[in-house]
Amino acid sequence: MRLTRALSWLCVLALGAVVFSTPAAAQSVNRAAIDELNEQLLYVALPLTLFVELMLVYAIYRFHNNDDPRPTIDDPALEVTWTAATGAILVFVGVSGFFVLANPYISPAAAGVTEDGGMSDDMEVEVLTYQWGYEFSYPDSNVTTSETLYLPNNTDIRFTLRSSDVIHSFYIPDFGIKQDIFPGQETTARTQLTETGTYRLYCAELCGSGHARMQADVVVLNQSEYDAWADGLSRNTTTPDGANATRASLAQPA
């Protein structure tokens, strides 16, 4: 009896810790949507897990000395109840997941498209991947960089992703962005950032012997700092990190 009571209090404390804990602030709207979905699913999964474990502990305690076990008597009402409950949970999970997938930042195709084929009001960044690095072009500012991606805060951003050789990936864990990039194809990712700072960009596809060093810094600035950075570089004929030489040496995808 004491064991059952102790386990019950432990489960209550665990549930309280999850409910009243304050999650860390998300760095982008993508990450916020994903974190919110995970939180909703946790609120459903945790009580079910605790209920099942408590029933298991109770059954072990109640029947461990039963030397004459008998089959469970059929109970249609109970069977209908747990089948309906399971169906309701699956519907909840499916609907919650659908709304996240329909988010225009998670699925760029859900965003509004203008007559020229672009996303309305989006700042565009062209990303070219190669073995083993990234090149970033900013058409609005006529600036190209490599090694470091600079982005403004609180702005809708559309990444146009291309590969010059093999399959690569555009993966920024802190932003909730992960998009594979295929040679000969143009893919798109969208985001809006909510926190300034420096983050890391990785390739998440095994792309050759230099895959482990295919990384880049992502620097998020407020709008005034970003404008000053872009204006300063646009006045120079050579962009930093040897990006112009990199661009000239890369073959464009078919």
- Asked whether residue 79 carries a pLDDT value surpassing 80, the answer given is yes
* pLDDT score at 17: 52
Q: pLDDT digit string (tens) for 108-129?
A: 876 555 444 544 678 999 999 9
Query: What are residue 22's phi and psi, to 5 degrees?
Result: -100, 115
Contact 216, 246 (CB under 8 A): no
- Asked whether residue 172 carries a pLDDT value surpassing 60, the answer given is yes
Sheet holding 148-152, edge to edge: 148-152, 215-221, 197-202, 168-172, 177-181
Q: Reduce the DSSP state of residue 123 to 3 states and report it.
A: strand
Pairing assessment for the beta strands 143-146 and 168-172 based on DSSP bridges = unpaired
Contact 201, 186 (CB under 8 A): no
* pLDDT score at 59: 84
* pLDDT score at 103: 87
- Asked whether residue 247 carries a pLDDT value surpassing 70, the answer given is no
Q: Tell me how far apart the alpha carbons of residues 3 and 30 are, in angstroms, rounded to a whole number.
A: 43
Q: pLDDT digit string (tens) for 12-37?
A: 555 555 555 555 567 889 899 999 99
Give the number of other CB atoms < 10 A from CB of residue 202: 16
Q: What are residue 118's DSSP bridge partners? A: none
Q: What angle do CA 107, 110, 112 make, to 5 degrees?
A: 130
Q: Tell me how far apart the alpha carbons of residues 133 and 164 are, in angstroms, rounded to a whole number.
A: 11
- Asked whether residue 65 carries a pLDDT value surpassing 90, the answer given is no
- Asked whether residue 240 carries a pLDDT value surpassing 70, the answer given is no
Q: Residues with Cβ < 8 Å from 204, sequence gap 6 or more?
A: 169, 171, 178, 180
* pLDDT score at 189: 92
pLDDT, greater one: 19 or 213: 213
* pLDDT score at 2: 59
Q: What are residue 177's DSSP bridge partners? A: 172
Looking at 2-11, 25-34, 35-44, which range is the least confident one? 2-11
Quick one: what percent of the chain has pLDDT higher than 90? 40
Q: Tell me how far apart the alpha carbons of residues 141 and 125 are, in angstroms, rounded to a whole number.
A: 10
Six-digit token string for 47: 């009580």
Mean pLDDT: which of 5-14, 69-78, 223-232 is highest? 223-232
* pLDDT score at 102: 86
pLDDT, greater one: 11 or 47: 47
Looking at 12-26, 41-55, 106-120, 134-148, which range is the least confident one? 12-26
pLDDT, greater one: 47 or 15: 47
* pLDDT score at 91: 92
The structure's pTM equals: 0.71
- Asked whether residue 100 carries a pLDDT value surpassing 70, the answer given is yes
